Structure formats: structure tokens, C-alpha cells
Structure 1
Amino acid sequence: MEALGPIAIFLLALFALLGAGVWVGLALIGVAWVGMELFTSRPTGDAMVTTIWAGASSWTLTALPLFVWMGEILYRTRLSEDLFKGLSPWLARLPGGLIHTNIVGCTVFAAVSGSSAATLTTVGRMSIPELRRRDYPETMVIGTLAGAATLGLMIPPSLTLIVYGVAINESITQLFMAGVLPGLTLAAMFMAYVAVASQVSKDFDPKPEPRMSLRQKLANSRLVIPLLLLVALVIGSMYLGFATATEAAAFGVLGSLALAASQGSLTRATFTDSLMGAVRTSAMIALILAGAKFLSLSMGFTGLPRGLADFIAEQGLTRFELLMALLVFYIVLGCFLDGISSVVLTMAVVEPMIRQAGVDVIWFGIFVVVVVEMAQITPPIGFNLFVLQGMTGHEMGFIARAAIPMFLIMVAMVFVLIFVPELATWLPETMSQRR
């Protein structure tokens, strides 16, 4: 195939730069530079400046730093302690007991952070000591936390969905709505696993929780109510059409500042730390996006994306076979790159394929997010594994083995999405009809 030459050159340049330890964003720009010099006579510097500025000045992208800042503010509050106290009385009597606080806590915090790492750190720093003190099995504590924290990538506001939407020029609000039901379904699948595993495991023998009256449970639940109201404000404003994703992000920042102030956690130091944390994360993602935009332009001059799409079409693959090929491709890629890098690096090639195959791009966004969620818990680059290693002191191999059941549940979730696509498409379509 004629595209094999350019593919080899792009891959060689990419692996050389990444292997040398160059930042992902700069590596993408470097690969694009090589492509422009080899395959076009257009001035490379002029093309790079124009493309990067066009990508960086997108109004849609302004939602990203706001959602990052919202998560950073809440990360520095007493939220993790309040979450555990508020959720534990209601979950203690379920099969699996307080292990469910990992999953429900991550689900709730994912709805206001958008970040897998922030979700993992916030919930884990409180739940791990509490669950250990109650003699819950370490593998189940670590595994469920590693898996459930990935919900931060799917449940809105998801940073990965923002990046995907910007990369393919689709509505961020529609993508957010598409992630709600699959995210809740995946959380329910995690909880079902915990319920079953706790019944069949011989090592599951935690200390019993003292019984609480309904009044005591309700008293503890008041700690979670402000956070649930913030979730309702952010997601509800988008669903009802009162706000775009960017405007909802601004509401979220104001709400998180108010929540931190009401807790007494909003000091000059926490405000500055949250702001600088948001700047660092947003700058990192913006650099990757800038590199991806330039790489897309460079690939376009080679005809590589369209050539690959035509090649796939010539193979006569069914929609299911194409999705299986992409599933394996992203799982392998996720062993070496983080989720956001995987998305921006591949969209220039993958987008024409899926559009030509008639795959709904909103649905495919959720498909991709589920698959790159797996990358968070697969060695050697699984970011959640590194975070948990720092928090628990366990060997990487132990943490990876503990996360295997959650990885398999995510694989099952991919097939649920394929056979029940309405799970991802129903809510965006309903929202469109309301408007």
C-alpha cells in the first residue's frame, strides 16, 4: 500500500522522540515537522504557527481549564472525609460492605472533577486507611479503587471527552450527556462484581459495622448533599439547555469555591495551589492538543488518513470487526500512552475510518473513553497504578493483578455499548429534542 512509507516515517520519528524522553506534545510537533519537510513544499513554520493558533484559540477549549480548576479546588477540601462519612452508613449493609464506598465515592467525585487521578487521590486517601482498619481484603480495596477511579474519564465533566470533542469538532455538551448512562452502568457493574466476589471469597471477613438509626444516617448524609447539589448544577444546566459546557464549567468553579468556603477549606494557600495545579494540567493538555493539530495537518498532506480509511473499506470489514480491531489497537496503545495522548494521536487517522463505516461519532467517543480507561490500569504506563503505588507502597505487579477484574469488566462494558448503543445515544438525542 502506498501509505506504508509515510506510516513508517511517522512511527519511526514518533518512537524515536518518545523513547528519548521528549514530552508527548513536543514529540507530536516534532513528528509533524518531519512530515511537513518530507511531504510538502509549504513553509513548515508558517503552517505550524497557523495551525497551533487555530487549535488553541477554540472557544470550546475554554471549558477544559475551568473543569480542571473545579476539580483542583474540591481536591483540596475535606471532601474525601465527608464522602466516606456520608456514604458508609448506607452502603455498609450491602453485600461487599464498605468496599462500595470506593465505587460510589469515585462516581460522585468523577461528576465534579473530570480527572481520573484527582478522583483516585481524593477518594483513596480517605477510604484506604478506613477499609484497612476494618480488615477488608487488600486486593479488593486496591483493585476497586484503581478501576472505579477511571470513571473520572467518562462521567461528565470528562477531560478526555472535551479533548475528543475538540479533536473531531463535535459538541462537548452532547458528548457529556452521552457519558452519563454508560458511566453509571459501568459503576453498577463494578458494584455487582464486589457483591458477588464478597460472597465467594474466603478472605472476605471484615469487622462488622455498628448499626445506625435512620436519623443518624440522615445526619451523616448532610455532608454529601452540597456535593450532590453541585453535580446537579453542572450536569442539569447542560441537560436542560440553560448553559453550554463552558458556562456549566464556570458555574462549577463558583460552586466549588462556595463549597470550599463553607467548609472553611478555602484559604489563600489552597486557592493559589488549586489555581497553579489547574494551570499545569491545562497547559500540559493544551500542548498535546497543539501537537495533535499540527500532526493532523501534516498527515493530511500525505493523504495517510484517507488512504488508511480506503484500505479498511477495501478489506470489507463489518462494523463489528472494525470495532474489535480498534479495541485491540487502543488496548495495546494504552500500554504505552495515557488516554488523552492516545485520543489526540490517533483521531486524524481513526475519524475518517469510523465516519466511512457509518459509526456514530458521539457513540464512538464513549467507546474510545471506555477503552482508554483501561490504559489507566495497564502496565507499564498505567497512571492509576503509579498513583496507587505511591499511596499504598505496594509493588506495581501486585496492584496490576488486583486491577485485573476491573479491566475485564471494562472489556465487557465495550460489548454492552456495541450491542446496546442506545445507552450512549439516547440522552443526547433526548436533549436535542428538548431544544
Structure 2
Amino acid sequence: MSDLAQAGVLMALLFLLLGLGVWVALALIGCGLVGLLLFTDAPAGVIFATTAWGSTASWSLTALPLFIWMGEILYRTRLAEDMFSGLGPWVNGLPGRLVHVNVLGCGIFAAVSGSSAATAATIGKISLPELKARGYDESISIGSLAGAGTLGLLIPPSIVMIVYGVAAQVSIVKLFTAGILPGLMMMLLFSGYIAIWALRNPAKVPRDAEQVGWAERFKRLRLLAPVVLLIVGVIGSIYAGIATATEAATIGVIGSLIIAGLGGSLGRTSFVASLTGAARTSCMITFILLGAAYLTSAMSFTGLPANVAQWIASLNLSAYGLLAVLTVFFILLGCFLDGISIVVLTTAVLLPAVQAAGIDPLWFGIYLILVVEMAQITPPVGFNLFVIQGITGKGLFTLARMAFPFFLLLVLATVLITVFPDIVMVLPRAMG
């Protein structure tokens, strides 16, 4: 059977299993098993055992449950509510007013949670009812939350960055550093669009009754102090070379426990709930990593990845041409798979072709995360859309329509880092 036919069989089986509601990890393992049994003579059981150990016994992965636990602890605090109160007076004079709190709040919470879904859920539960009560237009309120919620993937510490770093054997510390400027750029793009929208639709932006003086503004900034100190502790320790990603995650957990304890939200129930939530999410991600590693191993035994890389190389595409094709491919894949599945499923297969085209794996990681952010707000499998649907009760495609302008901003950001790669590379190069 030809490589194209083999790929077609495995892809059809994968989408069939996913369509039937089979867990992503089990679907990946099933496809790997079928690939080995049908197309090779390799021992499927032995390969599964060695792959299961090799894909999970990684020191880099120890940062993953710690960052997830940090986010779970903070999810149960008053952090988002305090951010809304602290940031609100400072954005009231901007076009769009309190809608900018969605962007700033998501950006700040992303820097301490590492999760897109947790960022969207935490900020959304506070901001959406508040914005609706004050008469803000729902389309811009919900759309900006959907878009800004994806910052949880890009602004370090990002769980997807850890997954990519492990899969691609790229320094997680350098990935974290590379995500800082693109993350800030995305916040500027989102806020810029909100301002332009507000200037074009002044009737849809109410004048808030609350007028806060300068003394009160600075007083409310104290509400942001805990999260700012936590960001400095986590990201600052990594960038200064004081701590590895795992050590910084430990600092983050200790800091979040202190914040929760001082805020009065750290009881026995919330502590156990945060541990349970972190364990559940960590197990899910590790299981998906295992399944993807097994499928990748199975495909390598068939020779498919090498042949795909060779075929892509034979097309003689420029780096720009290859990235254009991959962007379309990832957007289509994002309609059916979540972000982590996309990363672990495609990294090992595509990285040889990407490197052959002269693209830096570190830069490609940030590019991939930006494209995966698009998948977070792409129906029918857009995790951020599911989260916001749970908060608002609106239809998935209605939410997708509201988020579409922010999807286009993610496309623009992908173009910008492609044309100006130093946006990604300048900070990691400065680290040495």
C-alpha cells in the first residue's frame, strides 16, 4: 500500500474514532496499533511499553502538573475580581472603556495560570456579568474575552509550551522567554481593535457612572500587587537564570498558596478541589502525550513521517510557502482537535521538514502556539468557545461569529512574526 493510502487509512480511522466520541488519547493509541498491525511487522506491544515510558519519564514534564496546580489554586481565589476593580479605573478613559479589562485581565491571569480555558473561565465569570449589567454590547464583550482568553497559551508559563518543548526537544525556558513579546503584541492588537470598534460604534459603549479620582486609582492598584509579585517570582526567576521551569513552577505554587491563604479562600475543600483538578488535567494531558508518542512511533515504523518530510522538501517551497500551507492545515485540524492534541500529534512528523526549510524550531514553537490559539476559537472543537458557552448559554456558532474578528487578529499576528521573526527571537538570543 502506498504512503498516501496508508496516511488516508490512519487519518480516516482517527477522525472516525474522534467523531464517535472516543477519548483523544485512546483514538491516537488505536490508530497507532492499527498502523503497526496492518503496515509493519514490528511488535506493537513492546513498542507501546517503551514509548509509554519514554514519553512520560521526562524531567521537563514535572513542571506541567505544578503550573496546572498553580492555576487551579488561583482559579478559586478573588484574583480576577480584584483585577477587575484595580484595572477598571485606568481604562475608563480609553475608547471601549471597561472592555479593555478583558484583555488586560486575561493577559495578567495568563501569566500565572498557563491555561487558556482557565483564563477565559476565570475572567469571564467576573467581567461578562459586570459588562452586561453596565450596558456594554455583547458581541464585543464576548468576542474580546474569547480572543484574549487564548493568551493563556502564549504568555508564559504556558502548558502548551511545556508540551511542545518536550515533544520537540526545545528549551522550555527559551520558549517561555520567546513568548513574552508576542504575548504583549497580541494584547496591543486586541486592545487596538476594541478601541477602533468603539470609535466606530460610540452608541454601543455606555458612559460609566463610576468616576474614580487619581488617589483612588492608585489605591486600587494595591489589589494587583499579589499577582504582580507572583508574575515577577515565576517569570522573573526564569529570565534571570535563577530557576529552571520546574523550580519556577514550585515558586508559583507556593506563591499561589500564600495568595489564597491571605485572601481567605484556602480551606480544606478548595485545597482538595485544586489538587483533584490539577491531577485530572495533568493525567489527561499526559495520556494524550502518550497516545501521540505511540502513534508517532507507529508512523515512524511505516516510514511515513520521513516520506512526508521528503515529499514536502521535494515541493521546493520557500519557508514562507511552507508556513502558508501549514497555517491552512493547522486551521483545518483545529476544527476537529484541541490545541494540545494538535501540538503532540504534528510536532514529530513536521519538524524534520520545518528544519529542512531553515526554520528555527524555537520560532516554530511560537508560530505553532499562535495557530493553536486560532483552534481555541474555531468551531466545532473550540475549547474557549465551550467555556464561554457555559457562562453565557449562547450557541457555539454565535460565539464563533463574535470571536471572528479576534481570529483574524491572530492570523495577522502570525503574519507579523513571520515577516519580523525578531519579535520572537530577540529575547531568547539576549539570554544566550
Quote how far apart the aligned CAs of 1:226 are: 0.8
| Residues 371-417 of structure 1 deviation map (CA, whole Å, 9 limit, x = unaligned) | 11011111111111111111112222321111111001011001001
Residue 237 of structure 1 is matched in structure 2 by 237
Partners in 2 of 1:362 and 1:414 — Cα distance? 15
AA at the equivalent of 1:27: A
Judge conservation of contact 1:137–1:203 (CA < 8 Å) in 2.
Answer: no
AA at the equivalent of 2:258: A
Deviates further, 204-213 or 254-263: 204-213
Quote how far apart the aligned CAs of 1:421 are: 0.3
Judge conservation of contact 2:66–2:253 (CA < 8 Å) in 1.
Answer: yes
Judge conservation of contact 1:119–1:152 (CA < 8 Å) in 2.
Answer: yes
Quote how far apart the aligned CAs of 1:209 are: 4.0
AA at the equivalent of 1:301: F
Partners in 1 of 2:197 and 2:8 — Cα distance? 46
After TM superposition, the structure 1 = structure 2 runs for residues 202-213 of structure 1, keeping only pairs within 5 Å, are 202-213=202-213
Partner-residue secondary structure (3-state), 2:326? helix
| Residues 172-218 of structure 1 deviation map (CA, whole Å, 9 limit, x = unaligned) | 11111111100110110000001111000154231324322222111
Residue 396 of structure 1 is matched in structure 2 by 396
| Residues 136-176 of structure 1 deviation map (CA, whole Å, 9 limit, x = unaligned) | 11101000000000000110011111111111111111111
Partners in 2 of 1:359 and 1:367 — Cα distance? 11
Residue 95 of structure 2 is matched in structure 1 by 95
Quote how far apart the aligned CAs of 1:133 are: 1.5
Partners in 2 of 1:205 and 1:47 — Cα distance? 59
Partner-residue secondary structure (3-state), 1:227? helix
| TM-score, normalization by structure 2 | 0.98
Deviates further, 302-311 or 147-156: 302-311
After TM superposition, the structure 1 = structure 2 runs for residues 300-311 of structure 1, keeping only pairs within 5 Å, are 300-311=300-311
Judge conservation of contact 2:112–2:157 (CA < 8 Å) in 1.
Answer: yes
Partners in 2 of 1:195 and 1:6 — Cα distance? 50
Residue 107 of structure 2 is matched in structure 1 by 107
| Residues 294-346 of structure 1 deviation map (CA, whole Å, 9 limit, x = unaligned) | 11111111111111111111111111010000000000000111111111111
Residue 38 of structure 1 is matched in structure 2 by 38
Judge conservation of contact 2:96–2:205 (CA < 8 Å) in 1.
Answer: no
Deviates further, 140-149 or 37-46: 37-46
Matched, 1:262 2:262: yes
AA at the equivalent of 2:322: L
AA at the equivalent of 1:431: M
Residue 80 of structure 1 is matched in structure 2 by 80
Residue 352 of structure 1 is matched in structure 2 by 352
Partners in 2 of 1:97 and 1:170 — Cα distance? 40
Count of residues in correspondence between the two structures? 432
Q: Alpha carbon RMSD of aligned pairs, Å? A: 1.2
Deviates further, 199-208 or 330-339: 199-208
Partner-residue secondary structure (3-state), 2:150? helix
Residue 15 of structure 1 is matched in structure 2 by 15
Residue 387 of structure 1 is matched in structure 2 by 387
Judge conservation of contact 1:135–1:207 (CA < 8 Å) in 2.
Answer: no
Partners in 1 of 2:130 and 2:9 — Cα distance? 52
Quote how far apart the aligned CAs of 1:2 are: 4.1
Partners in 2 of 1:397 and 1:300 — Cα distance? 38
Quote how far apart the aligned CAs of 1:27 are: 0.8
Residue 374 of structure 1 is matched in structure 2 by 374
Deviates further, 51-60 or 209-218: 209-218
| Residues 266-314 of structure 1 deviation map (CA, whole Å, 9 limit, x = unaligned) | 0000100000000010000000000111111111111111111111111
AA at the equivalent of 1:318: S
Deviates further, 13-22 or 233-242: 13-22
Partners in 1 of 2:291 and 2:229 — Cα distance? 37
Partners in 1 of 2:249 and 2:380 — Cα distance? 33
Partners in 2 of 1:205 and 1:144 — Cα distance? 14
Structure 1: 5+ residue stretches without partners: none
Shift >4 Å, 4+ stretches: none
Partners in 2 of 1:42 and 1:312 — Cα distance? 26
Partners in 1 of 2:373 and 2:179 — Cα distance? 13
Judge conservation of contact 2:42–2:301 (CA < 8 Å) in 1.
Answer: no
Deviates further, 387-396 or 77-86: 387-396
| TM-score, normalization by structure 1 | 0.97
Structure 2: 5+ residue stretches without partners: none
Residue 215 of structure 1 is matched in structure 2 by 215
Judge conservation of contact 1:32–1:295 (CA < 8 Å) in 2.
Answer: yes
